[in-house]
Amino acid sequence: MTDHIGKILIPSGLTLITGGARSGKSSLALRIGQNWGQQVHFIATASAGDDDMARRIENHKSERPDDWETTEAPLEVASAVAEVPPNSLLILDCLTMWTANMLLSGAETGRIEDEALRLSSEIVERESPSIVVTNEVGLGIVPDNELSRQYRDLLGRVNQSVAHNAAQTLFACSGKVLRLENIEDVL
């Protein structure tokens, strides 16, 4: 199944939307969902660790239509995906927070990478399209502490493993979007 939503072609399987903070990733995912015209199921991975994050989460919730189903899954994302009705458009926002949650919960990087593969496999098996949002955090300076460097590198590997199974990957930057190609397809 392939559908057009505006100028964006939404193929069956996985569409990964990546980019920097405040680049338009989540806004694009929301607009795709609002224009879908059928059932939408949203999986949120953020958890409020402080007042600022709580406000951000509430802001995101207020942007979603009331008729969307929402599952909050800060850690067990693959299991949450398995529970989404097969005919619903799935929006998962975001891998960035999920990876941080897993790392800060004490999960080993190998386990997180394995879970990302499991998640990706679960998504590509779905009947309806899926949109996954994640941040590209590797475009900035090298972090000055070990945990931040570990997180940046881990998220880069998680993003690559999910993007590998994506039918399409979109890069958002300053409210603009580019379609990305697989490295294998350009060599």
Catalytically annotated residues: 60
Strands 89-93 and 130-135: parallel
Please choose, from the candidates 168, 166, 138, 173, the residue with its C-alpha nearest in 3D space to the C-alpha of residue 154: 138
What is the rounded end-to-end Cα distance, in angstroms, of the chain? 29
| H or E segment and range at residue 71 | strand 69-72
- HSE-CB at 78 with a 13 A cutoff on CA atoms is 17
Q: What is the CA radius of gyration of the chain?
A: 16
Within 10 angstroms of residue 125's Cβ, the number of other Cβ atoms is: 12
